[in-house]
Amino acid sequence: MKKYILYATSENGDGHAQNIGTFSDLSDIKIIISMFARDVVITIEEENEE
């Protein structure tokens, strides 16, 4: 199962990306994204399985 790492970066902040967590369910990701303000950039990165 694919896992995705979410990061939040404020557009008017210092540009530092904060790790929100790792999720595998896309519906959970949609809910998480909807809880953030409009000026927050959400980056989704696929987790590399080693």
CA distance 41 to 12: 10
Task: Give the pLDDT of residue 10.
Answer: 83
Q: Smallest Cα–Cα separation from 15: which of 35, 38, 34, 43?
A: 43
* Tokens read off for 22: 């790792």
Q: Whole-model pTM? A: 0.72
Q: What is the pLDDT of residues 22-43, one digit of tens each?
A: 999 989 888 888 888 788 888 9
